[in-house]
Amino acid sequence: MEKINAVITGVGGYVPDYILTNDEISKMVDTNDEWIMTRIGVKERHILNEEGLGSSYMARKAAKQLMKKTGANPDDIDLVVVATSTPDYHFPSTASILCDKLGLKNAFAFDLQAACSGFLYLMETAANFIRSGRYKKIIIVGADKMSSMVNYTDRATCPIFGDGAAAFMVEPTTEDVGIMDSILRTDGKGLPFLHMKAGGSVCPPSYFTVDNKMHYLHQEGRTVFKYAVSSMSDVSAAIAEKNGLTKDNIDWIVPHQANVRIIEAVAHRMEVPMDKVLVNIEHYGNTSAGTLPLCIWDFEDKLKKGDNIIFTAFGAGFTWGAVYVKWGYDGKKE
């Protein structure tokens, strides 16, 4: 019996048309382009500002493009999983809305919540459904409308985040490519440092929570930065060592796009030159679960079959990890 592995066979992405620049942000809060670029590395971010549209809208755009590019028949999709911290509704799931919008009749679907590590966890989840032998075509989507929880009077957080979504098709293969290995971690120590206080079952919405701005993202930047650098660096080094990967045979590192200084620190620790690190934070900001697949969507034409790629991320919780992927096809400009 040949060993079944899960391979990524295509990617689709979407970012909204409206671009929020640093100059615009500097009119909202006391900051400027130079400060934002030096501290965070973001020049612009895409914002979904049309009334009544949420994460499922961006997820649908990304998944539609993915299905078109891969020639997928809607009836053949077995499973849809969406990683998001900004679902359209508490319930039903964003993934269920996606199934309806895509006309999928034979899939089951659910959301996964691991904040900025969401897509990392998705890859491992999809890979195991494929390895079980029961599922053949899985769509995984990272989609976040971060603008829905950002306080645009908070100069510490408002320049960081943007909106966007991207999707992978994951299918079985017997070739020596695909999602090869992962190390995923959660420690639960991050609650005080990165959360949204109100809106959940502990603190339901009320006039008090709204008046006190408790429905916005709260982040203690220094603490989160420190944890992110050490966690992403350690876990990337660990998965490389476990799989005999060195700076010479790692083709690409795909890090979560939260802060350019975190990305540089991870590359430095891995002794990998920055030209092997996929970075697009300048144009998108932190799209949470969207960052990893949006990187691949952006740079797909650089990827070659057999490339050794390490994905790594860190998110609220704290959640973090690394996934080693041997890329499954030669990327090309559409």
Please tell me which residue in 256, 259, 295, 308 is annotated as part of the active site: 256
Based on the residue annotation, tell me whether 256 is a catalytic residue of this protein.
yes
Per the listing, tokens 């079944």 go with: 4
- The 8-class DSSP code of residue 151 comes to -
Task: For residues 66 and 166, give the distance between their C-alpha atoms in angstroms, rounded to a whole number.
Answer: 9
Task: For residues 25 and 32, give the distance between their C-alpha atoms in angstroms, rounded to a whole number.
Answer: 8
Per the listing, tokens 């509704």 go with: 89
Q: Torsion-angle region of residue 19: left (phi > 0), alpha (psi -120 to 50) or beta?
A: beta
Strand partners, 12: 167
Task: For residues 67 and 82, give the distance between their C-alpha atoms in angstroms, rounded to a whole number.
Answer: 15
Please tell me which residue in 5, 99, 116, 295 is annotated as part of the active site: 116
Please tell me which residue in 46, 286, 295, 308 is annotated as part of the active site: 286
Q: Torsion-angle region of residue 251: left (phi > 0), alpha (psi -120 to 50) or beta?
A: alpha
Per the listing, tokens 């993934």 go with: 95
Based on the residue annotation, tell me whether 283 is a catalytic residue of this protein.
no
- Asked whether the beta carbons of 157 and 217 are under 8 A apart, the reply is yes
Based on the residue annotation, tell me whether 116 is a catalytic residue of this protein.
yes
- Asked whether the beta carbons of 169 and 20 are under 8 A apart, the reply is no
Active site residues: 116, 256, 286
